[in-house]
Chain A
Amino acid sequence: MQSIRPGRRRTKLEQGYWGFILIMPWLIGFLIFKAYPFLSSLYYSFTDWNLFKGGSWIGIQNYVTAFTTAKNLKALRVTFIYAFMTVPLKLAFALFIAYILNFKIRGVGLFRTAYYIPSILGGSMAIAVLWRAMFKNDGVVNRILTILGLDNVNFLADKTWALFIICLLRVWQFGSPMVLFLAALKGVPEELYEAASIDGATSGRQFVKITLPLISPVIFYNLVTQLVQAFQEFNGPYIITQGGPRNATTLISLIVYNSAFSEYNVGMSSAMAWIMFVIVMIFTAISFSTQKKWVYYSDERGDK
């Protein structure tokens, strides 16, 4: 009775209850570990819930506080700066290096490995510790600056620089989008470039007119996943700068964590989490709704 509609290609999928049984564990998990927490955090955001004492409905009070407190507004701003500094830089780097690696280069494997290691380790505590050691006031980066004859910078205490090194940690991990770009670039047919050079197109023009459109699905994928991740960043600022100096690196995720687990204010924390969720949704929606204009899917990809 289901899905066998007139005029539709007969599906070869097996019918019956088996499929449902197979996905049952996921569905149960989804309801318990995703759907319920998701909805209950929406509920908490309208309450003054305390981590230990419970609470009651207070309407939109938390949201009003979120948009009127200087600290929260600053966290929103810093999160935006963070996301819009790291994502374009990271993708630009990834594409640039992938573009170079796509030429007939000896030792591609070696370079790819070197560029990819930070992506594997970058999220770990060890690297956060390393970052702190390197950017300390008397750390190795300042030593290098001295040797180059440049002024030392108090990276961890200066508001702008502290945010910069947090961003740098993420840009350093450009390896995983790079591997995706590299795979996409290898998929661009050689004939197209040959035809374009015969027509007299420069390599810059070829890149804009051939390469970019053909790899646009991967650009799109990288953009969406990186944005979603960047808005959620927690480890870097939490460990390296502890949100400081003077909240210059306090991202929304830190406010969410601190409200709930230092101030025990679950209501406020949930409201901030939901604000972040809505922001992420808006950007994902924008990306998806504009993709028809700039993402090029070749015919053989679509369902026939």
Chain B
Amino acid sequence: MSASILVFLIVGLALTACGVIGMANVNTEATGLLAALAQNRNLYLFLGIFVLIVVLYRIIYNRSTTQARHVLSTVVRYLILIAVGILMVYPLLWMVGATFKDNVEIFTSIGLIPRHATFEGYRAAMNDYGGDINIWKAMLNTYKYVLPRVIFTVLSSTVTAYGFSRFNFRGRKMLFALLLSTLFLPQVVLNIPQYLMYSKFGWVDSPHYLALIVPSLFAQETYFVYMLIQFMRGIPRDLDEAAKIDGCGVMKTLVLVLVPMLWPAMVSAALFQFMWSSNDFMGPLLYVKTPANYPATLFVRLSMDGDSGFNWNRVLAISLISIIPSLVVFFMAQSQFMDGITAGAVKG
């Protein structure tokens, strides 16, 4: 038995002992150390037993044959993955269950499946708020700026990436360095001057969400430009040259030759922009003021802060409805998401 296992064994036994001593002193008038042990007895017991299980596993592992070790470590890997997976998904599943619970059950049971399923939360979620806005209208408002933003971002980023990766012009290196430096430029520094500028333009509280849409026409989301540049670099230039020899102009080459090759990257960019724009809170918070124009993010907050602060099933139902489009898009396009994040970073 190695020294480290021995140390862990002692720690495990000590913690368990603390827990047991604590248990024995729960209902006594003990003071000082004993009282402290009694108070946190379960914590000590959990930690102690956990450490002992790890030690036990290690001892068994060390005495096993290679084959048995293989099985053991595989089992442990699955156990960890499942345990962490449950922790990751539990909040979301609890949320789904909670929307069908009544307001008492939400906070008295930790189960996922409601005992007395009720649609009260959903029924209340449909209510108008102040006569101007309800969840459906808010969702509609959201996609009124999210969809244009997605389309404009992808188009403008593709054109910019094309310019940078396929052409040489005076100052290209310097401009490219500028482009990359904006990757690290915190949006917080820009927010207030942008707000002042947009209010001069009359874009604040514009019913057409101009402040949220117009900048996307100018390829200002550097991440996507960068991602598309990386992708375009991987497409052989011979293709463009062949197209040129065949008499394709600059734009025709882009549309007919490069876009079909770039399509997966463009889809990834569109998906990410869709998610980020639908989740965006700061933008609407600054630039949408009229309740009738509220997008889902602001509506969810309104319903949480509003007079119905105790109707958690309603608030959670509204929240859940607001993320359903994102969830549907995610499940339909999972692999593009995974490819998308790796494309921007790893292919560098």
Contacts and interface: CB of A to CB of B under 8 A. Distances in A.
Contact of B156 (A26, A117, A126, A139): A26
Interface string A38-76: 101100100000010000000000000000000000000
Interface of A: 2-3, 11-23, 25-30, 32-34, 36-38, 40-41, 44, 51, 97, 100-101, 103, 105, 109, 111-118, 120-121, 123-127, 129-134, 136, 138-140, 143-144, 147-151, 172, 176, 179-180, 183-184, 187, 217-218, 221, 224, 228, 231-232, 234-235, 238-239, 252-253, 256-257, 260-261, 266, 269-270, 273-274, 276-277, 280-281, 284, 301
6 tightest A-B CB contacts, nearest first: A29-B218, A19-B167, A22-B163, A126-B319, A37-B193, A149-B42
B70 to A, nearest CB: 10
Contacts of B85: 111, 114-115
Contacts of B84: 97, 115
B81 A14 contact: no
Nearest to B237: A12
A270 B184 contact: no
B297 A124 contact: yes
B257 to A, nearest CB: 13
B188 A256 contact: yes
Contacts of A3: 168, 172-173
Of residues B156, B192, B319, which shows the largest number of chain A Cβ atoms within 10 Å of its Cβ? B192
B177 interface: no
A97 B175 CA distance: 39
Interface of B: 39-43, 46, 74, 77-78, 80-81, 84-85, 88-89, 91-92, 94-95, 98, 106-110, 156, 159-160, 162-164, 166-170, 172-173, 175, 178-179, 182, 184-197, 215, 217-220, 225, 237, 241, 250, 275-276, 278-279, 281-282, 286, 296-298, 300-301, 304, 312, 315-316, 319-320, 322-323, 326-327, 330, 334, 337-338, 341-342, 345-346, 348
B175 A23 contact: yes
Nearest to B165: A13
Nearest to B304: A129
22 contacts: A2-B170, A12-B237, A13-B168, A19-B164, A20-B167, A25-B159, A29-B217, A29-B220, A32-B218, A101-B81, A117-B330, A118-B92, A121-B279, A125-B319, A126-B323, A129-B304, A129-B316, A133-B315, A149-B41, A150-B43, A176-B341, A184-B346
A253 B282 CA distance: 11
B330 to A, nearest CB: 5
A19 B166 contact: yes
Contact of A273 (B89, B182, B189): B189
Given A16-B169, A143-B107, 11 more contacts: A18-B169, A20-B167, A26-B160, A124-B323, A132-B304, A140-B94, A150-B42, A179-B338, A228-B186, A234-B282, A276-B186
